């Protein structure tokens, strides 16, 4: 096994004015499962392909263990990839598909069979070894692709959105299997996805990328509890964090009739560049009903109540009519103004009522309006 290190790595595609990946510095520990996550086009797959040797590196260096592999051929990097498309040979059996790379490497037939059968047992594929891919379900085909990677016993696994072609139920089942299998094998793994739920449930750590720039690296809990900026705050978590731009008035942040207290540390961290504004975030479960007579509240007009059995979600908007948004642009797509609140089932008032809410202690996230970076609590 081995560590993986990106040292100030950039990739600029021919004809492009901006790099697809810019100055990426990232280290993956030996045996770690690290997930690269971000919206489509953010540079996560490009980063993976540079590590695999399928994309050129314009600046910086990539290391696997102590070896600089920046200019090493893909076949000599001791990696194995699992793609979104299974890319199985349709005319070969599962056994032959899984053992094909070992056959090309001219390993003894007994060794190939030993490795294939061990991987098949681990993946629950033993009974399918003599079938061809057309006789398998999507989930089984993806496990065959995993098995093909496992038998090679590489130093690093690279997985590029391997669950995208599966239905929702099978995706949940398979991601659990992949995470368990990785921990059992202990192979250093980079996993690319745009699905933050996959990232939160599978990764030892998560690296969030936006516009080719690494935003934050940390455990799922660290990213959820202390996002480094408003992008990470809004990207990680489902339903998304409520985020809005408020005016600072004395010891409070104000938006219409909504008033949110600000600590002295938060107020002192604001600069002239913030222009008297602050971005405040709060998760759906971070709100509580304000006590009778409270003045600093968030009045919410209820639009819809979603009962989900164990939970209920209230969807609403600020009672004063202002829209909760982090953008100054009136035409911005995030100007829908919706606020989501999680409440116990069967406790929410009906649509049309007004709830007066407060952010629970320790659940308020403050960000600079100028830089979008996190401010002291």
CA 369 from centre of chain: 24
Comparing 185 with 314, which gets the higher pLDDT? 314
pLDDT at 374 over 70: yes
Rg value, the chain, Cα? 25
| Predicted local distance difference test score (pLDDT) of residue 331 | 42
Delimit the domains of the chain by residue range. 4-231, 242-368
pLDDT at 333 over 60: no
Q: Which CATH superfamily is domain 4-231 in?
A: P-loop containing nucleotide triphosphate hydrolases (3.40.50.300)
Residue of 149, 144, 203, 138 lying closest to 171 (CA atoms): 138
Region 99-104: mean pLDDT is 91
Q: What is the pLDDT of residues 164-196, one digit of tens each?
A: 877 778 788 888 888 888 888 899 999 999 988
Region 83-105: mean pLDDT is 90
pLDDT at 38 over 80: yes
pLDDT at 96 over 90: yes
DSSP bridge partners of 82: 159
pLDDT-derived band at 143, boundaries 50, 70, 90: confident
Query: What H or E segment, with its residue span, contains residue 299?
Result: strand 298-307
Rounded to the nearest 5 degrees, what angle is found at the Cα of 52, between the Cα atoms of 222 and 106? 130
Using an 8 Å Cβ cutoff, are 240 and 342 in contact? no
Average pLDDT, the chain: 92
Q: What is the CATH number of domain 242-368?
A: 2.40.50.140
- Going across the sheet that includes 365-368, the strands are 258-261, 252-255, 242-249, 277-282, 365-368
Using an 8 Å Cβ cutoff, are 55 and 24 in contact? no
| Predicted local distance difference test score (pLDDT) of residue 325 | 87
pLDDT at 208 over 90: yes
pLDDT at 279 over 60: yes
| Predicted local distance difference test score (pLDDT) of residue 79 | 94
Neighbours of 94 (CB within 10 A): 27
Q: What is the pLDDT of residues 106-134, one digit of tens each?
A: 999 999 999 999 889 888 899 999 999 99
pTM here?
0.89
| Predicted local distance difference test score (pLDDT) of residue 330 | 44
């Amino acid at each position: 096994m081995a560590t993986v290190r990106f040292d100030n790595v950039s990739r600029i595609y021919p004809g492009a004015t901006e790099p697809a990946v810019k100055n990426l510095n990232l280290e993956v520990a030996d045996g770690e499962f690290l997930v690269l996550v971000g919206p489509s086009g953010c540079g996560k797959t490009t980063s993976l392909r540079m590590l695999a040797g399928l994309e050129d590196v314009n600046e910086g260096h990539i290391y696997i263990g102590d070896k600089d592999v920046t200019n090493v051929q893909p076949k000599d990097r001791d990696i194995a990839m699992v793609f979104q498309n299974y890319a199985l040979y349709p005319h070969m059996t599962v056994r032959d598909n899984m053992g094909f790379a070992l056959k090309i490497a001219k390993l003894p037939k007994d060794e190939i069979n030993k490795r294939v059968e061990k991987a098949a047992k681990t993946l629950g594929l033993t009974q399918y070894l003599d079938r061809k891919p057309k006789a398998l379900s999507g989930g089984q085909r993806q496990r065959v692709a995993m098995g093909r990677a496992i038998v090679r016993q590489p130093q690093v696994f690279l997985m590029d959105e391997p669950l995208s072609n599966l239905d929702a139920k099978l995706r949940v089942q398979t991601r659990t299997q992949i995470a368990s299998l990785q921990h059992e094998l202990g192979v250093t793994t980079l996993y690319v996805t745009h699905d933050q739920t996959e990232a939160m449930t599978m990764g030892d750590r998560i690296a969030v990328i936006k516009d080719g720039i690494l935003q934050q690296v940390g455990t799922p809990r660290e990213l959820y509890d202390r996002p480094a900026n408003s992008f990470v705050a809004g990207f990680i978590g489902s339903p998304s964090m409520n985020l809005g731009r408020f005016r600072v008035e004395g010891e409070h942040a104000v938006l219409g009739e909504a008033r949110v207290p600000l600590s002295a540390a938060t107020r002192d961290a604001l600069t002239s560049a913030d222009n008297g504004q602050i971005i405040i975030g709060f998760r759906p479960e971070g709100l509580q009903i304000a006590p009778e007579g409270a003045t600093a509240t968030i009045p919410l007009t209820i639009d819809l109540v979603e009962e989900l059995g164990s939970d209920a979600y209230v969807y609403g908007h600020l009672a004063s009519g202002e829209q909760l948004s982090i953008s100054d642009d009136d035409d911005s797509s995030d100007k829908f103004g919706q606020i989501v609140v999680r409440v116990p089932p069967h406790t929410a008032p009906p649509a049309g009522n007004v709830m007066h809410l407060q952010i629970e202690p320790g659940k308020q996230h403050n960000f600079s309006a100028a830089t979008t970076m996190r401010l002291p609590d």
